[in-house]
Amino acid sequence: DAKTTQPTSMDCAEGRAANLPCNHSTISGNEYVYWYRQIHSQGPQYIIHGLKNNETNEMASLIITEDRKSSTLILPHATLRDTAVYYCIVAKTSYDKVIFGPGTSLSVIP
């Protein structure tokens, strides 16, 4: 079973920040938090990952709480092309088998 829980769906206005929450209360000390997204009928795309520090790249920011039991993916300026299902996953490394939960279906609205 997936080790994370996410809201089923969210809406975000185009141009605004999209904040996607994820709970992972049973995360262990050596597990990373990974975020992927899947646009309809395509393979998943890596977005970002982190262990305990906040991370930022050209796509998004990842905010991990101090107790590591939850995190938030932030898309700073959502566009229509960001409409996708976003998956939050915990795993030791990319060598670990990755179990996907239902994810959050994000709809960016014009």
The residue count for binding other proteins (CB under 8 A) is 23
Q: Which is nearer to other proteins, 21 or 100 (CB)?
A: 100
Comparing C-alpha atoms, which of 6, 8, 14, 11 is closest to residue 73? 6
Contact 27, 33 (CB under 8 A): yes
Query: Which region, judged by CB under 8 A, interacts with other proteins, from 17-25, 28-36, 60-68, 73-81?
Result: 28-36
Contact status: 45 vs other proteins (CB under 8 A): yes
Neighbours of 52 (CB within 10 A): 13
Contact 61, 76 (CB under 8 A): yes
Residues at the contact surface with other proteins, assessed by CB under 8 A? 32, 34, 36, 38, 41-46, 49, 85, 87, 93-95, 97-103
